[in-house]
Amino acid sequence: MDQMSLYYQATLTEVWAPKGQTPVVRMTPQRNHVHFYGALDVRGGRQIALPALEQTSDVTADFVRLLLLLFPTQTILLLLDRASWNKGSAVREVFEENDRLHVMYFPVACPHLNLQEQVWALAREAVSHNHNYRDFGQLTDDFETYLNENLFESNFMDKYGPPPNSTILF
Please indicate, yes or no, if residue 91 is contained in any of the structural domains.
yes
Q: Are strands 33-40 and 101-105 parallel, antiparallel or unpaired?
A: unpaired
The C-alpha atoms of residue 150 and residue 89 are separated, in whole angstroms, by 33
Q: Name residue 105's beta-bridge partners.
A: 80
165 Rama sector, left if φ>0, alpha if ψ -120 to 50, beta otherwise: left
pLDDT at 17: 80
pLDDT for position 134 = 85
Residue 170 belongs to a domain: no
Instruction: Round the CA-based radius of gyration of the chain to a whole number and report it.
Output: 18
Does residue 49 contact residue 148 with C-beta atoms inside 8 Å?
A: yes
- Which amino acid belongs to residue 162? P
> Would you state the pLDDT for residue 86?
95
Is there a domain that residue 97 lies in?
yes
Distance CA 41, CA 18 (A): 39
pLDDT in tens, the chain (170 residues): 999 999 887 666 676 788 888 877 666 666 789 999 999 998 889 999 999 999 999 999 999 999 999 999 999 999 999 999 999 999 999 999 999 999 999 998 888 889 999 999 999 999 987 777 888 999 999 999 999 999 998 887 777 777 776 665 54
Range of the domain at 91: 2-160
> What is the 3-state composition of the chain as percent helix, strand, coil, each rounded to the nearest 5?
35, 20, 45
Asked whether residue 98 is assigned to any structural domain, the reply reads yes
19 CB neighbour count, 10 Å cutoff:
5
Distance from C-alpha of 114 to C-alpha of 19, rounded to nearest angstrom: 38
User: According to the model, what pLDDT value does residue 60 have?
Assistant: 98
Q: Is residue 169 in a domain? A: no
CA-CA distance, 123 to 142, in Å (whole number)? 10
Cα 156 from Cα 40, distance rounded (Å):
11
60 domain residue, yes or no: yes
Domains contained in the chain, number:
1
CATH number of the domain that residue 35 is part of: 3.30.420.10
d(CA 28, CA 37): 25
Task: Assess if residue 95 is contained within a domain.
Answer: yes
